[in-house]
Every structure is written in structure tokens, then in C-alpha cells.
Chains A and B, each alone.
Chain A
């Protein structure tokens, strides 16, 4: 079983729609979590950190459920520029390693 699992998609969503991704993690020692965005043939870029209380950044909302060991990302009013692969990431305190999911590919359709 992979340490961080995501639905690979692809998700093809019309512009303006709301889309949600989920991710599960298996290592209970994971302490902090992130969503990264990766455009085709580019490096991953940090989109947002994920906190237990949930956090919002404009159209993006991230939530963490420690009891069920899953993380979510919600994108509202999706734009064409949101088309990318979204990577779910867990970090363990102590060794500071990031463990990545394989990513969920999102395409926003005009």
C-alpha cells in the first residue's frame, strides 16, 4: 500500500464548476500536509499547507481529517489556468521527508 494515495484522474471539469480531490495517508506519524501543483514538464510548486482547522486561500480550500487520515482540496469557480496535476504531500516530523502521492490530473474545459 502506498503511503500517500490519490485518485489519478483525469478529472475533466467545465470552467466555473467546483471540483474536489481527496487523498489518504497511511503513516500516522505524518504531521504536516501540503498540496502542490505541477504543470506539464515543470517542477512542483507549493499551493497551500493543510491545517487541522482547515484553511482557505481565495478559491482554494484545504482540509485535514486526522481521525480518518485523509486530506482534501476544493477548488471553487474553476479557471482554465487551474488545469494541472495536483500532488498531495505528507511530511514526517523528525526526518522531515516529504512523501508524495502520484498526483491527480485536472483539466478545466472551456
Chain B
């Protein structure tokens, strides 16, 4: 089975801190994604990447950046955390075509 591992399950950070969320997949997938999930809004795409050092903005990239230095690792960076970035963050990976993606178990981030 594909394994997608997110480094932290729960995280509490202060406003203004720089926050790193890490995601690692073990199946040599090209595509990796970062979503956030909020009640009533569903999953919204922040950034995605098709390959090493490639990144594309999703629907809500403001306040975030990403890094993909190695194929298996995709990091989400909150440059200066704000309270409106309190959310569940979900990483996913997969291949193209007719296949779905596998999600990590999520990081519940609280910014105080």
C-alpha cells in the first residue's frame, strides 16, 4: 500500500511564526498536493507539484509557499502564520490518468 506520511498530527503555533509542514510518500509518485480542509468549505487546493523543483499554485496559495527538493518530499511553508490559517492540512500523492490519490493522515494546525 502507498504510504503518505505527514510529520505532525497536531501543531500549535503563534501568530507570525514560520511553519513547516512536511509530507513524504514512498511510491515514487510524480504528483503531490497540499489541501486544507475547513468546515463547510471542503477541501481546497493550496499548491501542487508534478516533479522535483516544480510547483503550481492551486486555488488558495496566498500566505503559503512550497518546496520539493526530492521526489518523495513535499513541504508546505507558512511564511508568517496567521489565525485564519488554523485548519486541517492534508497532503496527497499519486500518478496521472485514471488513478485517485492517497492522502496522509493530516496535520491539524492551530495558530494562536
User: Given A93-B97, A96-B96: A45 and B42 within 8 A (CB)?
Assistant: no
- Contact check, A100 vs B42: say whether CB atoms are below 8 A apart: yes
Q: How many residues of B contact A (CB 8 A)?
A: 26
Q: Is the interface of A mostly helix, strand, loop or mixed?
A: strand
Could you tell me the distance between the alpha carbons of A65 and B31 in the complex, rounded to whole angstroms?
Answer: 27
The interface residues of chain A lying within 8 Å CB-to-CB of B103 are 43-45
The interface residues of chain B lying within 8 Å CB-to-CB of A100 are 35, 42-43
- Contact check, B97 vs A32: say whether CB atoms are below 8 A apart: yes
Does B74 have its Cβ within 8 Å of any Cβ on chain A? no
Q: Mask for A9-53, Cβ within 8 A of B = 1, else 0?
A: 000000000000000000000011010100000111110010000
User: Of A32, A44, A98, which is within 8 A of B98 by CB?
Assistant: A32
Q: What is the distance, in angstroms, from A25's C-beta to the closest C-beta of chain B?
A: 14
- Contact check, B90 vs A44: say whether CB atoms are below 8 A apart: yes
Does B58 have its Cβ within 8 Å of any Cβ on chain A? yes
Does A97 have its Cβ within 8 Å of any Cβ on chain B? yes
Q: Which residue of A lies closest to B88 (CB)?
A: A41
The interface residues of chain B lying within 8 Å CB-to-CB of A36 are 100
Could you tell me the distance between the alpha carbons of A91 and B48 in the complex, rounded to whole angstroms?
Answer: 14
Q: What is the distance, in angstroms, from B48's C-beta to the closest C-beta of chain A?
A: 7
Not counting A87-B42, A100-B42, a sample of 19 additional A-B residue pairs whose C-beta atoms are within 8 angstroms of each other reads A31-B98, A34-B100, A43-B103, A43-B104, A44-B103, A46-B100, A46-B101, A49-B98, A49-B99, A89-B100, A93-B97, A95-B56, A96-B96, A97-B45, A97-B58, A99-B45, A100-B43, A102-B41, A103-B42
Chosen A-B contacts, 6 in total, with CB atoms closer than 8 Å, are A42-B106, A43-B90, A43-B106, A44-B103, A96-B48, A96-B94
Residues of chain A touching chain B, judged by Cβ–Cβ distance below 8 Å, are 31-32, 34, 36, 42-46, 49, 87, 89, 91, 93, 95-103
